[in-house]
Structure 1
Amino acid sequence: MKNWLLAGRTEKKLSKEALDFLVSDDIECDKLIVEEDVIGSEAHVLMLLDKGIISKNEAKKILQALEEVKKLYRKGRFILKPELEDVHLNIEQFIIDKVGVEVGGKIHTGRSRNDQIILDLRLYLRKRVNNILSLLLKFIKILLDKAEKNLKTVLPAYTHLQHAQPTTLAHWLHAYAEMLLRDYGRIREAYMRLLNLNPLGACAIAGTSWPIDRLKTANLLGFKDVQENSFDVVSSRGEDAAELMFSLTLMLIHLSRFSSDIILWSTYEFRFAEINDSYAMVSSVMPQKKNPDVAELIRGKAASALSQLTCILELLRGLPSGYFKDLQESKISTLKVVEDSLKVLRVITGLILTLKFDKNRMLKLTQENFSTAVDLADMVAKKAGLPFRLAYRVVGTLVKNSLNEGKKPQDITLEDLNKASMKVLGRKLNLNEKEIKRVLNPLESIKLKASLGSPNPREVLRMIKKSRIKLKMEEKSLKKEVKRLKMAEEKLQKLVSKVIMDK
């Protein structure tokens, strides 16, 4: 049977193949936004009532039907019918079936599915984004807590996957905390720029002749403001998602790099960390194995998010202004990345909370491979009054000689350094062997660091405290925003109930 809600221009119903092609994937996504469509419709109806576009009795009947949809949905009994194309027409058809087309047919007055879907997605994404932000702050706090407990836990820092310089576990943990705080800021900005603006009332693209009040619906739905230009509203579908997805994808990339570190550190070759059994899997054939599957799939989710972001950007790149069916694909991509982000943050929190670090192993490897060589070069430059490049050549020669002779950093003597100096400079260096030993000791080397942002325990502690201040500010701001949205939702529900209960 042809969908009579949209009967008019065409005479034939969609073919089975066309309906399946156009609807099947999209309506699965629409199952997630039923309640948002109801809430948006309730605000729209209250606005129509306030402007005298519909009567109080009409509003009452429509709102009663919308509340019934909400109750059925929460019980898992509101089933979307593919032949009705999407969540919007499914709900409108339900209302018309309940109260008749003379009343129910007025719900779509002064709006279009073009602004309606943007509204539904923004309402859905606002909640999800705030959940993501809450989980992200929780994870950052865990990183800072662990960092503060490991200010003197020595760890080799790597460049090119080769030992570079000694650092600390606290320095490494705080680095990721800072990356994720930037991610938090980007996600928050994306939230405020478009997701917290009311698109409802833009209609198909050029507004409406009905005397609607877009500021009223913005207030009822807890939006900070109205996205004014109706042409811009409809054309911005996908832009809001793209900005959010970029921010989420970058967050996932940071978590992917974090996971890659953990994966490497859990290998036999590194043995810096042990993943808890509850976050690992075993081989089906090799009984000795414990695989870091959770950390690996986090990397996979980051790769998937990047592909979904590319999809949306390419959709936007290829389109003129206005609305096109292509943009339906952006919904699928957006919802997947958002849901994956929530899953990743939940699981990585458990992963880090149960992760065990082998501090002795970290220190042992740091001591063995001349990661303090640059510190020795700095000392030679300062104490002997040499240009750094000459000190670099002396120490480079010392390292080469030591490796050839099987000597480790702790075995180096003043005689060894002078041997290298004679070869490079043609003279010995008047240095203190005790100072040489000290600077070659990884922890002492770290304590000698004087630059801003270095792994010196005092400096890392200062940075942790600074990050905690940022964290508390963001926690307070997020709590305030969540409360504001909850109050708006409760206010809307009270107004709906008032209209329904009034005689």
Structure 2
Amino acid sequence: MAQLWGGRFTKETDKLVYNFNASISFDQKFYKQDIEGSKAHVAMLGKQGILTQDETQQITAALDEILADVESGKLAITDEYEDIHSFVEANLIDRLGDTGKKLHTGRSRNDQVALDMRLYTRAEVKETDELVKKLLETILGIMEEHTETIMPGFTHLQKAQPITLAHHMGAYFEMFKRDRLRLHDIYERMNYCPLGSGALAGTTYPLDRDYTAELLGFYGPTLNSMDGVSDRDYLIEYLSALATIMMHLSRFSEEVIIWNSNEYQFVEIDDAYSTGSSIMPQKKNPDIAELVRGKTGRVYGALVSLLTTMKGIPLAYNKDMQEDKELTFDAIDTVKGCLALFEGMLATMKFNKEVMRKSANHGFTNATDAADYLVNHGVPFRDAHGIIGQIVLYCIDKKIAIDDMSIEEFKQFSDVFEQDVYDAISMETCVNKRLTIGAPGKAAMENVIALERKYLNENP
């Protein structure tokens, strides 16, 4: 078919060039946004007297019909059209003739595609935020249930000090809470309307850009028409936020994978979120966690791709910017899928509390508290550190925990030890005497959980 821009050209576009140039295969995702933006544009043209009220009503009704026909399957979006904008306008002209040709008055495909991408991304930012919030609800539920579930805390992937499962989960709550804050910031910065920027220099028509922005739910119009058609900062920010979400999910997935291993057995993943081996009947593989971890690189790739595309583009619009779509769409779909599946896996996961506690006991996670016991009884810290180091070696040799030593065995290393050492180095004492805000003690955790619950209630 003839292109909407074909007047300047005397020769048909080569088919290979046409296909290379076309974006209909992926920008058809915008059909709702394109029609929504066109309706707002037409309403504004009618308000300004650029179109008659009859023309405004005819075009609006026909756009509604096109939308209904697409959604019912009556009208197919095919590669006969170069892009979604051509599809909508061509079908409008088929239905209304010359009146349909007036839709594009005071508008360019440059500000049209900028608007469509912004409308689409704005909706996706909100959907991503909702998924992150659901994940936070699940994490907080685990925190509320496990303030007394003792487990080892790690540094360098080695057992360090005893904490609780609530405390461990709380670290991820903070990460994903920051992700929500980033999404909110992106929304606030991006929510300005580029429609009316024209190709790059606005238009001579008396457009009311404030009205169009209001109709489409924006805070106002963009203030520079060149920037309006060539800004992709909001997409780069969104992809950066998505990459950070995936980084957090990947870290969490790595722990789930480790915790699910035979060596740890901290968790049992629900059958719905794991698979078996085709030849090894004993296997229960953490496939969802592994796929989330793997797909993180895919999302990183989209961010790096767009940054690379944008780095050398002079003002204003250039066709390079068409490359903002496919990888962005893929990244958005990937992150949304990962969030939904990870939340489902986490919500159905069983935590083996006794195994976790035993791991903390036999990992010498109370060694620091044993050293503190000596210090509190007058032993210099450096000496206390050495004494406890010798005790750890002794316990390793005997294959026992520090708690399993008799008082006579303790006194072989220092006469300072008395019966009260057992209470001082018990897992409960080690955890619950840490009461500063942010620490794993039960009272401290309950204060934080109340704050996190308040945050979720106030930020729906």
TM-score bracket, normalised by the shorter chain, equals over 0.9
Structure 1 residue aligned with 2:290? 296
1:74 matched residue in structure 2: 71
Match of residue 350, structure 2, among 335, 351, 356: 356
Q: CA deviation at 1:418?
A: 5.3
Within the candidate set 71, 79, 102, 1:106 is matched to: 102
Q: CA deviation at 1:287?
A: 2.3
Please give the secondary structure, in 1, of the residue aligned with 2:188.
Answer: helix
Q: Distance in 2 between matches of 1:8 and 1:393?
A: 87
Q: Which moved more, 1:56-65 or 1:461-470?
A: 56-65
Residue aligning to 1:433:
419
Whether contact under 8 Å (1:384, 1:431) holds in the other structure is no
Determine the C-alpha separation between the residues in 2 that align with 1:58 and 1:2: 25
Q: What percent identity do the matched residue pairs reach? A: 36
Q: CA deviation at 1:385?
A: 5.0
Q: Residue 157 of structure 1 contacts residue 165 of structure 1 at CA under 8 Å; is this kept in 2? A: yes
How far apart are the structure 1 equivalents of 2:48 and 2:305?
41
In 2, the alpha carbon distance for the partners of 1:82 and 1:257 equals 41
Provide the residue aligned with 1:35 in structure 2. Answer: 32
| Gap change, CA 1:65 and 1:164, over 3 Å in 2 | same
State how far apart, in whole Å, the 1-side matches of 2:150 and 2:252 are.
18
Secondary structure of 2:103 counterpart:
coil
Q: Deviations over 1:347-403 (max 9, x none)?
A: 1221112111111111111111211111222222233252x3443233223222332
Q: Would the alpha carbon gap of residues 175 and 302 (structure 1) be closer, same or farther in structure 2, given more than 3 Å must change?
A: same
1:305-355 CA-to-partner distances (Å, cap 9, x unmatched) read 111111111112232232121211111122112222221222122111211
* Correspondences of 1:443-482 after superposition (within 5 Å): 443-475=428-460
Q: What is the distance in 2 between the residues matched to 1:439 and 1:29?
A: 64
TM-score normalised to structure 2 length: 0.95
| Per-residue deviation, 1:155 | 0.8
Residue of structure 2 equivalent to 1:395: 388
- Distance (whole Å) between structure 1 residues aligned to residue 18 and residue 95 of structure 2: 26
CA distance in structure 2 between the aligned counterparts of 1:264 and 1:464, rounded to whole angstroms: 26
Give distance in 1, aligned partners of 2:39 and 2:310.
Answer: 31
Contact 2:25/2:79 (<8 A) preserved = no
Residue type of the alignment partner of 2:281: P
Relative to 1, partners in 2 of residues 1:21 and 1:456: Cα closer, same or farther, differing over 3 Å? Answer: same
Q: Is the 8 A contact 2:410 2:417 kept in 1?
A: no
Cα contact 1:372–1:439 (8 A) shared by 2 = no
Partner of 1:163: helix, strand, or coil? strand
Contact 1:35–1:73 (Cα < 8 Å) also in 2? no
Greater CA drift, 102-111 or 39-48: 102-111
Tell me if the contact between 1:178 and 1:467 (Cα under 8 Å) persists in the aligned partners: no
Does residue 116 of the first structure (1) align with residue 150 of the second (2)?
no
Aligned-residue CA RMSD (Å): 1.7
Q: Distance in 1 between matches of 2:264 and 2:440?
A: 21
* Residue pair 2:186, 2:234 contacting (<8 A) in 1 also: yes
| 1:267-298 per-position Cα deviation (integer Å, ceiling 9, x unaligned) | 11111111111111222222222211111111
Q: Which residue of structure 2 aligns with residue 492 of structure 1?
A: none
Which one of the candidate residues 166, 181, 203 is aligned to 1:185?
Answer: 181
For structure 2, which runs of at least 5 residues remain unmatched after alignment? none
Distance 1:377 1:247 in 2: 43
Please name the residue that 1:497 is paired with. none
Q: Contact (CA 8 Å) 2:432, 2:442: kept in 1 or not?
A: yes
Give the 3-state SS of the residue equivalent to 1:288 in structure 2.
Answer: coil
- Equivalents in 1 of 2:268, 2:33: separation in Å? 43
Give distance in 1, aligned partners of 2:75 and 2:117.
19
Q: Which runs of 5+ in 1 are unaligned?
A: 421-427, 476-503
In structure 2, relative to structure 1, the CA distance for the partners of 1:89 and 1:176 (3 Å cut) is: same
Cross-structure match for 1:375: 369
Whole-Å Cα distance in 2 between the matches of residues 47 and 177 of structure 1? 45
Matched, 1:174 2:170: yes
- CA shift, 1:22, in A, is 2.3
2-structure distance, mates of 1:10, 1:397: 87
Distance 1:341 1:76 in 2: 28
Structure 1 residues 394 and 89: CA distance shift in structure 2, 3 A:
same
Q: Which amino acid aligns with 2:28?
A: K
CA positional deviation for 1:208: 0.9
Q: What is the distance in 1 between the residues matched to 2:424 and 2:298? A: 45
In structure 2, what is the Cα distance between the partners aligned to 1:319 and 1:27?
Answer: 23
- 8 Å Cα contact 2:254/2:293 also seen in 1: yes
* Residue of structure 1 equivalent to 2:340: 346
SS of match in other structure, 1:155 = strand
| Alpha-carbon distance, 1:61 to partner | 2.0
* AA in 1 matched with 2:105: T
- 1:127 maps to which residue? 123
1:164 and 1:76 mapped to 2: Cα distance? 60
SS at match of 2:204: coil
Q: Partners of 2:408 and 2:300 in 1: how far apart?
A: 55
Please tell me the residue identity of whatever aligns with 1:158. F
Q: Distance in 1 between matches of 2:66 and 2:2?
A: 23
Q: Does 1:324 align with 2:318?
A: yes
Whole-angstrom distance in 2 between the partners of 1:287 and 1:330: 45
- Following superposition, the deviation at residue 449 of structure 1 comes to 1.5
Q: What TM-score, normalized by structure 1, do the two folds share?
A: 0.88
Residue identity opposite 2:282 in structure 1: Q
- Asked if the contact 2:266–2:356 (Cα under 8 Å) also holds between the matched residues in 1, the reply is yes
1:185-216, CA deviations, whole angstroms, 9 ceiling, x for partnerless residues? 0011111111x211111111111111101100
Q: Is the 8 A contact 1:315 1:326 kept in 2?
A: yes
**8 Å contact from structure 1 (residues 199, 233) kept in 2:** yes
Residue 360 of structure 1 aligns with an amino acid whose one-letter code is: E
Structure-1 residue corresponding to 2:196: 201
Task: Indicate conservation of the 8 Å contact 2:362/2:400, yes or no.
Answer: no
Q: Retained in 1: the 8 A contact 2:256–2:267?
A: yes
Compare 367-376 and 12-21 and name the one that shifted more: 12-21
